Structure 1
């Protein structure tokens, strides 16, 4: 049986996975993101994966801070996640993570993020740039939303409507 804590992480990881495909519904956004990543010396595929895991970590940190059970994660406002992406220290995003991950790619990406945090220097600078890109992506989704204060649940519903994998 999966614990509630593990379910919170799974929902947060799902948010990270659907974020960029939803933003990329306007194709020029993907091209702009790729240009930014290349200008910063970040491999495009690796950078996008780091943005995904960054989104999961930010949502997870906010959910833990608020003691949200998995069933209430859908009510988490996107703006709060965006604020955590740039407002929390990188190492704060690593607190309370699961010991194991259902998707090994998540565990690997978290470890890469952890390595960036501990190495500091240029890696810390990359995380700052990625956090800004993540915040931008979350705010783009929020601006597109027909509801005034969109939540993670709104993103999950849009992802389902767009046929993105669950």
Structure 2
């Protein structure tokens, strides 16, 4: 049986996975992000995977701070997740994660994030740069939705409408 903690992470990881495909519906945004990653010396594939997990970690931190269950996750405001991406320290985003992950990609991505967070120096700078990309991507999704306070559920509905995997 899957615990609520594991289900919460699953919802957070799903938010991270749909973030870039939704933003990339305007292809010039992907090109701009790739240019930024190149400029910062970050491999595009690694950078995009770190952006995904960064968004998931930020969402998880907000949900944990608000004591939100997996069932309540859809009501979480996207602006709060964006604020956490740039407002919380890297190691704060790692607090309260499940002990194990069902998806091996999450294990690897969280491990790389953890390594970057604890290494410091250039790695910390890269996480700072990636945090700005996460915040920007979430802001773009918020601006594209006609509602005043966009929620994670709104993002999931857009992802379903776009035919992204659930």
Q: Is the structural similarity TM-score above 0.5?
A: yes
Residue of structure 2 equivalent to 1:97: 97
Residue of structure 2 equivalent to 1:80: 80
**How far apart, in 2, do the equivalents of 1:152 and 1:107 lie?**
23
Over the aligned positions, Cα root-mean-square deviation in angstroms equals 0.4
**How far apart, in 2, do the equivalents of 1:72 and 1:147 lie?**
19
Moved over 2 A (4+): none
**How far apart, in 2, do the equivalents of 1:128 and 1:76 lie?**
23
Deviation at 1:96, TM superposition (A): 0.4
**How far apart, in 2, do the equivalents of 1:105 and 1:45 lie?**
13
Per-residue CA distance 1:25-82 (angstroms, 9 max, x = gap): 1000000000000000000010000000000000000000000010100000000000
**How far apart, in 2, do the equivalents of 1:149 and 1:161 lie?**
19
Per-residue CA distance 1:112-140 (angstroms, 9 max, x = gap): 00000110000000000000000000000
Residue of structure 2 equivalent to 1:124: 124
**How far apart, in 1, do the equivalents of 2:74 and 2:45 lie?**
28
**How far apart, in 1, do the equivalents of 2:117 and 2:55 lie?**
16
Residue of structure 2 equivalent to 1:33: 33
Per-residue CA distance 1:8-32 (angstroms, 9 max, x = gap): 0000000000000000010000000
After TM superposition, list the pairs within 5 Å mapping 1:62-81 onto structure 2: 62-81=62-81
Per-residue CA distance 1:84-119 (angstroms, 9 max, x = gap): 000000000000000111101001100000000110
What's the TM-score once normalised by structure 2's chain length?
Answer: 0.99
**How far apart, in 1, do the equivalents of 2:108 and 2:39 lie?**
25
Residue of structure 2 equivalent to 1:18: 18
How many matched pairs? 166
